[in-house]
Amino acid sequence: MGKRRIAILGSTGSIGTQALDVIRQHRDLFEVELISAYRSTELLCAQAREFDANSVVICDEALYKEVSDSLWNTDSKVFAGVESLCELVKGDNIDIVVGAMVGFSGLRPTLAALEASKIVALANKETLVAAGGIVTRTAREHNAAILPVDSEHSAIFQCLLGAQGNELVKIHLTASGGPFRTWSRERIAGASAADALKHPNWDMGAKVTIDSATMMNKGLELIEACWLFDVVPSMVNVVVHPESIVHSMVEFADGAVIAQLGCPDMREPIGLALSFPARLTVGNRKLDFASLGALHFESPDEERFPNLGIARRAFERGGNIPCAMNAANEVAVKAFLEGRTSFYGITDIIEKSVSGATFVADPTLDDIFSTHEETIRCAKELIR
């Protein structure tokens, strides 16, 4: 088989750089065809040179000249804007598209890749939260595969490989509990962005790290699991597991539970999505059970972490409501990172924005975009 030709949407972020690290270890298996970034020009140009990328897209069009000047003496062709990205991911020169953009911005290019029947290695969970119905329908209609990169969903996907046609009855979605797992509600209420950015186990981008501290990340992942594995929220049991060794589990009718374990390192699920069904070495640490000693599990506390319940209820209401919730969360997390709202301010902003959203039961893509934009406006107003 020839080399797999890869496009990485969001190559300078946490997932993007780790995907390139996996590729760096297996240059004989992969060709980097396309990389894109929103604004990190310096790293993007360095990646273009190292991996000899054919196409380089800078999404912020104002930075086009900087990137194209920097890469003038290379073979890389430089493009600007999300529209170019949507065209380029459809190219015949691409086999796998890694969706590693942050937040709602990944929706359009992900849909473009699915429409072109690409394999999409999806890390960008917000895409499924905001428009899961449209995204999964597009994948089905175009015979495009979505391979999960999110560690929990990669775990569930791997556990289901052993199902042999048996229906799963429950997903046990593990959560680290984040940096505030043992903090009181009062102490959490005064937490700063710096406190929230200290994730105990995972090395991730700022957005997902804050989402992890509020447990909105687990709420988004619950919705992601419902779309990816065609289950209802009552079949998803969120369980806090502070060691982050069990990446998630599936349960069958006979009570048998199959788990996937590993040291917390995103290169493992990324590597599997890039090389599936083959497994690659990815340079991660291996488990040493004797030194681990014990693994712990506990129920999530929705008093201290209300966002998990908000996400579940948003999905149960359905339609465009998860999209509104996601948009409000994106605005609120940004405000929290900038010190403009408190930790529980995030929850307030989401709740008020969602209750203000106009319900659309079966949203079109246009409805999704207008819900996103309207909710952003409403959430920004609330912060002001």
Residue (151 or 371) nearer to Mg ion, CB: 151
* Interface segment toward Mg ion; rule CB under 5 A; list 68-76, 143-151, 259-267, 319-327: 143-151
Residue (151 or 320) nearer to Mg ion, CB: 151
User: Least separation, in Å, of the C-beta of 150 and Mg ion?
Assistant: 4
Contact 247, 152 (CB under 8 A): yes
Report how far residue 175's alpha carbon sits from residue 240's, in angstroms, rounded to the nearest whole number: 5
Residue (300 or 319) nearer to Mg ion, CB: 300
* Total of chain residues touching Mg ion, rule CB under 5 A: 3
Residue (151 or 341) nearer to Mg ion, CB: 151
- Tell me: does residue 150 bind Mg ion (CB under 5 A): yes
Report how far residue 360's alpha carbon sits from residue 317's, in angstroms, rounded to the nearest whole number: 10
Residue type at 178 in one-letter notation: G
User: Least separation, in Å, of the C-beta of 182 and Mg ion?
Assistant: 21
Residue list 152-211, contact with Mg ion (CB under 5 A): 152
Contact 225, 172 (CB under 8 A): no
User: Least separation, in Å, of the C-beta of 378 and Mg ion?
Assistant: 28
* Interface segment toward Mg ion; rule CB under 5 A; list 20-28, 74-82, 149-157, 179-187: 149-157
Residue (54 or 124) nearer to Mg ion, CB: 124
Binding mask 100-139 for Mg ion (x = CB under 5 A): ----------------------------------------
Dihedral angle, C-alpha 38, 43, 48, 51, nearest 10 °: -120
* Token code pair at residue 192: 């700063």
Locate the DSSP E strands across the chain: 4-9, 30-37, 55-58, 77-80, 96-99, 119-122, 146-148, 168-175, 236-240, 246-252, 257-261
CB under 8 Å to 9, separation ≥6 — which residues? 16, 36, 85, 89, 97, 98, 99, 100, 101, 106, 109, 110, 124
User: Least separation, in Å, of the C-beta of 102 and Mg ion?
Assistant: 14
Report how far residue 214's alpha carbon sits from residue 300's, in angstroms, rounded to the nearest whole number: 11
* Interface segment toward Mg ion; rule CB under 5 A; list 21-29, 148-156, 310-318, 342-350: 148-156
User: Least separation, in Å, of the C-beta of 222 and Mg ion?
Assistant: 11
* Token code pair at residue 194: 């710096």
* Interface segment toward Mg ion; rule CB under 5 A; list 17-25, 134-142, 145-153, 237-245: 145-153
| Binding footprint of Mg ion on the chain (CB under 5 A) | 150-152
